[in-house]
């Protein structure tokens, strides 16, 4: 008599009406699977006398030698949906992986509830590097789910009190304060700020904090009428924000845009309105994208160290994979002076 075939996780998945990866997580008691589904899967497993294949389980725990870089799809002026700031960081991350003897898988973050779990569970990658996350408040649940899943990951982004994860980010407060102090040192006293200042965009919020701190240190009041919430970082949004600020009628002699793309869009709007940069209005940005030096006029901005960031993201992730404790790290920013802010205003 032929022995009965041993039940597999695919048999359980078929009976439960779920995916095989959901079965795997349910049998481990993963918080990503609701309790009703866990109980259903576990009951079917008992009915089928299912036992975990320890050899297969050990094989899944082996390292693949591959890291996954997952990009957030940002609104862009072209079809790439990739924030151009991340392109230079992509090169740094790729080189850092190569030096460490790892391959790099590049893809986009997905909107499904368990997209993040598939990489480690399917043995595609040993850990994840996340670039971008959109609305931070909305992203927090997914970041917390990653932690609960015990997924090895790090992200580029602001360091926020109480965050559930490990991140590498720029000192946005320091960068915002330095660039605003530079404008104030040039004699600008009515400096507009373009960028979201809420918890939804913590990078922009911290840059605004630096902006406010520089004003306070200089004894200059901040006019709330000169701040415009711009959540997305595109030239089109910067152009529309600048048009709205001009329409308000409040005078200004400087503009600090929370990103280079916003700043470049704002400069186009100023030109459309017949306002000269930097003669009438100084404009500065943040990021130091390659296009910043080719803008007209060339854009003064805050440079984030993408080379160090890429190396640190890879280094932190490999330490996490090895089981080492890793703390979030903040990198210093530096200002790059070009023509868009002009010279010191004459009294």
Please tell me the least confidently modeled range out of 124-138, 234-248, 308-322: 124-138
Provide CATH code, domain 9-61.
Answer: 1.10.260.40
Q: Please give the pLDDT value at position 59.
A: 42
Residue 51 has pLDDT above 80, yes or no: no
How far from the centroid of its chain's Cα atoms is residue 56's Cα?
35
pLDDT in tens, 103-129: 998 988 875 555 555 665 556 788 899
The domain made up of 66-166+307-329 is a member of CATH 3.40.50.2300: yes
Residue whose C-alpha is closest to residue 204's, from 195, 213, 194, 191: 195
| Average pLDDT of every residue of the chain | 87
What is the mean pLDDT of the segment spanning 137-144? 85
Residue 347 has pLDDT above 60, yes or no: no
What gap in Å lies between CA 240 and CA 247, rounded to an integer? 11
Going by C-beta distance under 8 Å and a sequence separation of 6 or more, which residues neighbour residue 287? 85, 259, 260, 261, 301, 302, 303, 304
Q: Please give the pLDDT value at position 32.
A: 65
Q: Please give the pLDDT value at position 281.
A: 97
pLDDT in tens, 213-253: 999 999 999 999 999 998 788 899 999 999 999 999 999 99
Residue 48 has pLDDT above 80, yes or no: yes
Residue whose structure tokens are 């004894």: 219
pLDDT in tens, 61-73: 556 788 999 988 8
Q: Cβ distance 256 to 191 under 8 Å?
A: yes
What gap in Å lies between CA 117 and CA 21, rounded to an integer? 9
Residue 100 has pLDDT above 70, yes or no: yes
Residue whose C-alpha is closest to residue 85's, from 326, 286, 327, 342: 286
Q: CA quadruple 71, 133, 160, 171: dihedral positive or negative?
A: positive
Confidence of residue 54 (pLDDT cuts 50, 70, 90): very low
Confidence of residue 144 (pLDDT cuts 50, 70, 90): confident
pLDDT in tens, 254-296: 999 999 999 999 999 999 999 999 999 999 999 999 999 999 9
Judge if 9-61 and 66-166+307-329 fold alike in CATH terms. Answer: no
* Beta strand pairing call for 191-194 and 254-257: parallel
Measured at the CA of 169, the angle between CA 217 and CA 108, to 5 degrees, comes to: 140
Residue whose structure tokens are 């802010």: 341
- Candidates 3.40.50.2300, 3.40.50.150, 3.30.460.10, 3.60.70.12; correct CATH number of 172-304+335-341? 3.40.50.2300
pLDDT in tens, 150-180: 888 999 999 998 888 899 999 999 999 999 9
Q: Cβ distance 81 to 295 under 8 Å?
A: no
Q: Please give the pLDDT value at position 346.
A: 47
Q: Please give the pLDDT value at position 7.
A: 80
Q: Where are the domains of the chain?
A: 9-61, 66-166+307-329, 172-304+335-341
Share of the chain above pLDDT 90, in %: 56
Backbone angles phi, psi at 43, to 5 degrees: -65, -45
Is the previous residue joined to 266 through a cis bond, with omega within 30 degrees of 0? no
């Amino acid at each position: 008599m032929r022995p009965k075939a041993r039940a597999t996780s695919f048999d359980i998945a078929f009976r439960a009406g779920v995916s095989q990866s959901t079965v795997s997580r349910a049998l481990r008691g993963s918080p990503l699977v609701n309790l009703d589904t866990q109980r259903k899967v576990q009951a079917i497993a008992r009915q089928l006398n299912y036992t975990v294949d320890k050899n297969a389980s050990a094989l899944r725990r082996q390292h693949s030698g591959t890291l996954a870089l997952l990009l957030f799809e940002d609104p862009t002026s072209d079809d790439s949906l990739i924030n151009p700031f991340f392109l230079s960081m992509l090169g740094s991350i790729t080189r850092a992986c190569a030096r460490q003897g790892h391959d790099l898988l590049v893809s986009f973050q997905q909107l499904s509830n368990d997209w993040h779990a598939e990489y480690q569970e399917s043995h595609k990658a040993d850990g994840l590097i996340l670039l971008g996350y959109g609305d931070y408040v909305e992203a927090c649940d997914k970041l917390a789910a990653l932690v609960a899943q015990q997924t090895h990951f790090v992200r580029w982004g602001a360091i926020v009190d109480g965050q559930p994860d490990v991140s590498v980010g720029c000192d946005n407060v320091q960068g915002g304060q330095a660039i605003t102090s530079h404008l104030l040192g040039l004699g600008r006293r009515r400096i507009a700020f373009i960028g979201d200042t809420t918890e939804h965009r913590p990078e922009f919020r911290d840059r605004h904090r630096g902006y406010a701190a520089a004003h306070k240190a200089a004894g200059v009041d901040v006019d709330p009428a000169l701040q415009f919430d711009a959540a997305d970082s595109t030239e089109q949004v910067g152009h529309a924000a600048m048009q709205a600020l001009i329409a308000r009628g409040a005078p200004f002699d400087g503009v600090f845009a929370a990103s280079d793309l916003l700043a470049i869009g704002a400069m186009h709007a100023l030109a459309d309105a017949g306002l000269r940069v930097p003669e009438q209005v100084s404009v500065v940005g943040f990021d130091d994208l390659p296009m910043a030096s080719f803008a007209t006029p060339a854009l003064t901005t805050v440079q984030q160290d993408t080379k160090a960031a890429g190396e640190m993201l890879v280094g932190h992730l490999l330490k996490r994979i090895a089981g080492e404790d890793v703390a979030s790290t903040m990198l210093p920013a530096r200002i790059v002076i070009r023509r868009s802010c002009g010279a010191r205003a004459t009294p």
